[in-house]
Structure 1
Amino acid sequence: MKIFKYLLYLLFVLLIGACDDDDEKKPEPEIPPVEDMSGYAKGADVSWLTEMEAAGILFYDTAGTQIECMTLLKSMGMNSIRLRVWVNPVTGWCNKSDLLVKAKRANDLGMRLLIDFHYSDVWADPGTQTKPVEWQELSFDDLCLAVADHTTDILTSLKDWEITPEWIQVGNETGNGMLWEEGRASDNMAQYATLNNCGYDAAKAIFPEVKVIVHLQEGNENGMYRWMFDGLKNNGGKWDVIGMSLYPEVDNWQSLNNDLISNVDDMINRYDCEVMICEVGMDWSEEDACYEFLSDLINRTKDNESCLGIFYWEPQAYGSWKAYSKGAFNSEGKPTKALNAFSAE
């Protein structure tokens, strides 16, 4: 098993190296020392990273020196990495093998890990919670078993690689449940709670100390959060942490931050649990406003022991990558001012 793991990792590294047209040998980046990573999490979801590297995309520090992306983010004050995993994606990216490669890199840097289960072959979000192709015709009981088996398989592989995630997300932005139609919460909250618990129990069986997150979109919408977590609670749903997303614009970030902070306080008091801000982002060109947005959010949550941290979603995306404009790197592949918020005291 160990030989297989190392061969897999070596093969992936060689594949990435083959995509680099520059024959000149580049210096190895200096890896920051492993530090005490307890306390407030400051991190990024970089799930696109290996795909970007395979496409020949490079990353640079503010001085213009090429550097490995996770190492760069750590040098800017981040201590955590979030990674999504799909069941059987057509392209292969974000499958188990790809996840393991990225998780090992983060783990070797001493960074904390959040694993984000989408329970889909593609994106799972508020408008799309599509069952994996291989699960389409399953009965509800077998669907529950598939959730448990998939969760167990991924986490067992991480454990075999001696990688221990600190947080596990069962579903992504599940404001109306997951694995539709069976798990659509507005139609059958009890079935969604059951599916959620299958992921929760499987995670705890592999990593008993892990904190399991139920993650919803629009962290400023208190009514939706009360509806969802009242529904889960009333149907025996399990969670340790409530996860939130927030994607404001330049002209409304102050009001959305205020609403999110109120929602954070309400969730902590109402359900006696912790909260994580799992996704944030703003257009890369608005770096000054994004810096203010992030600084305000971090400063208002970092001293609250029940608010565990904040993750920027795919900050390393730049240029025309996937037509995504809410990264935090400029067109030259350098981090914008926005990310300075993660290193500020």
Structure 2
Amino acid sequence: MRYFSFYILQCLILSILVISCASCESDNQETNNNTDNDSIEFYFGSDLSYVNEMEDCGAVYKDQSGVEKEVYSIFKQEGTNLVRLRLWHNPDWTDYSNYSDVKKAIQRAKNSNMKVLLDFHYSDTWADPSRQLIPEAWLSELNNTEALGELLYNYTYNTLNELSQENLLPEIVQVGNEINTMILQEDETNGPIDWQRNSYLINKGIKAIRDISELKNKPIEIMLHIAQPENGLWWFEQATTNGITDFDWIGLSYYPLWSEYELDEVQVPLETLINTYNKKLMIVETAYPFTLNNADSANNILGEEALTGDFPASEQGQLDYLNQLYIIIKDAGGQGLVYWEPAWVSTNCFTQWAQGSHWDNATLFDNSGKATLGIKFYNKALNN
């Protein structure tokens, strides 16, 4: 009996040691993850918001060798270290880019050991420089800035809190998408920005992210996103003058087609933004056509007029454009480049406007689903 008691005591001590070691391993793993996050000098990103829908529509993705693979693993193997995902508030016209869909996408990114940039559109549909439409559920508070701020704060806070409960917190969060004009508007008018209203609302979103970050003891960086560098110059000047200063990243869309700056000119405004505001900078949207052919009845958005410099509409031209833009961003002091919707391939499904994809000639997959040469851009991440 005495021997048995001693044996039980030994087992208890051993169990405690095992649990303690497991805890230490968990702590070390958390520390290592944080260190890994801090060690990323440049983000090589892919906006994969369309992937879940495309797969449901029958899309198949293949690597450079023509082997069919899970699409997140293709990007990871090439060197992608950041996945960007858009989130609409209550898009009753689609089953995608809502909370459920985004949660699934974040899980896929985490499973592939990639960081996540979550893009709050603060709308039920596409938010862009020409429209920042308020969610239908918030419309009654359109002219009540304080109440609207509380809705925005609570939505942002609760969304991130729910993601946290499933270990899905993103590493970077955008407060709005291409917010060149005033956020949370009733229509598509682009009048002067009411900065008292605009700064109050944006700062409420920022505060929600900071509060969750503190509560969960997890660093979450904040990004403000403007379309085209020339608009970033005036927007950030006005924003900081009006009290919007607590953010980490300047995010920009850069498509030469819609910018005042050609590719060989864009380094100057990037440097100006970085040096003026002492913030990190990332191009969070860009793309380049690998062909001018159209695969379906959905007209291509990027046609011949989208070509720039000496880069033709070819797979090599696509890769060369990305390589050159990467060099420009790095030389300017920037720290990231995200390709917008590289997997929005042509399928039998419909957009809001037509059957197929409006981006099928500017993805990083050809019309057979095989990765283009452009995807080799991400290899730089493996060599850094």
The question of a shared fold, defined as TM-score above 0.5 by the shorter chain, is answered with yes
2:96 aligned with 1:66: no
Structure whose CA Rg is larger: 2
Mark the CA change 1:289 to 1:196 in structure 2 (over 3 Å): closer, same or farther.
same
**Which of 302, 317, 325 in structure 1 is aligned with 2:344?**
317
User: Would the aligned equivalents of 2:182 and 2:193 in 1 still touch at CA under 8 Å?
Assistant: no
Secondary structure at 2:140's aligned position in 1? coil
Alpha-carbon distance between aligned partners in 1 of 2:317 and 2:379, rounded to the nearest angstrom: 17
Alpha-carbon distance between aligned partners in 1 of 2:134 and 2:260, rounded to the nearest angstrom: 36
Q: Deviations over 1:120-170 (max 9, x none)?
A: 000000112111111111122221111111111211122111123221100
2:182 aligned with 1:177: yes
User: Would the aligned equivalents of 1:60 and 1:333 in 2 still touch at CA under 8 Å?
Assistant: yes
2:243 is matched with which residue? 236
Amino acid aligned to 2:102: L
Mark the CA change 1:84 to 1:281 in structure 2 (over 3 Å): closer, same or farther.
same
2:232 aligned with 1:225: yes
- The structural deviation recorded for 1:324 is 2.3
C-alpha RMSD of matched pairs (Å) = 2.4
- The structural deviation recorded for 1:200 is 0.5
User: Would the aligned equivalents of 1:245 and 1:280 in 2 still touch at CA under 8 Å?
Assistant: yes
User: Would the aligned equivalents of 2:139 and 2:186 in 1 still touch at CA under 8 Å?
Assistant: no
- The structural deviation recorded for 1:185 is 7.5
- The structural deviation recorded for 1:175 is 1.2
The answer to which structure has the higher helix fraction is: 2
Secondary structure at 1:215's aligned position in 2? strand
Secondary structure at 1:81's aligned position in 2? strand
User: Would the aligned equivalents of 1:185 and 1:191 in 2 still touch at CA under 8 Å?
Assistant: no
User: Would the aligned equivalents of 1:185 and 1:192 in 2 still touch at CA under 8 Å?
Assistant: no
- Identity, in percent, stands at 30
2:151 aligned with 1:156: no
Q: How does 1:240-259 map onto structure 2 within 5 Å?
A: 240-248=248-256, 256-259=262-265
Structure 1 length normalisation: TM-score? 0.83
How many positions carry a matched residue from both structures?
A: 306
2:112 aligned with 1:109: yes
Structure 2 length normalisation: TM-score? 0.75
1:281 is matched with which residue? 287
Alpha-carbon distance between aligned partners in 2 of 1:272 and 1:60, rounded to the nearest angstrom: 41
Alpha-carbon distance between aligned partners in 1 of 2:72 and 2:252, rounded to the nearest angstrom: 23
2:322 aligned with 1:294: yes
1:204 is matched with which residue? 210
1:18 is matched with which residue? none
Mark the CA change 1:184 to 1:162 in structure 2 (over 3 Å): closer, same or farther.
farther
2:140 is matched with which residue? 137
Q: Deviations over 1:163-204 (max 9, x none)?
A: 232211001011113212599682302211111111111011
